[in-house]
Amino acid sequence: MMASLSVQTLFVLLVFVTASYCMIEEASAVEGQREFDYFALSLQWPGTYCRHTRHCCSKNACCRGANAPTEFTIHGLWPDYNDGTWPACCTQSDFNEKEISTLHDALEKYWPSLSCGSPSSCRGTKGSFWAHEWEKHGTCSSPVVHDEYSYFSTTLNVYFKYNVTVSGQEFCDD
């Protein structure tokens, strides 16, 4: 089991580095924020997280029985600086789930919440996992992405492009 966990961790690191450097964008600063240097695609391995779940609720993807995630899922798309720091909570833009309603099915499958708890928003209120990711990271993604829909659809597209759950055989074919 330890060997497979190491391979899974290696795949996450590979995607993180690949997506980070492949998504480099020139970005002009949001007022008061310095320009970020790249995006980091952060993935999570549900099997490990779900194994430690003690409480189930309707929003916890770990508790979907046979429909629980069995491949890496998205944790977020984060603007980062080359010095190892990152911007966070860049605007006062509140999350509006209606803005991403057409993405809901894809987000439930590829970017599910693995927790029953409600994460804190930038202003200390509680909300959904998607609200947390938008307010903390998405609001700092301008001018590459300008709104909630663009942030979530861009993240899904990056996830599909650099999907680590694809068999290694597909990468070896000439």
Which are the catalytic amino acids? 75, 133, 137
DSSP string, the chain: -HHHHHHHHHHHHHHHHHHHHHT----PPPTT-PPP-EEEEEEE-HHHHHHT-----TT-GGGSGGGS--S-EEEEEEEE-TTS------S-----GGGGGGGHHHHHHHS----SSPPB-TTS-B--HHHHHHHHTGGG-TTT--SHHHHHHHHHHHHHHT-TTS-THHHH--
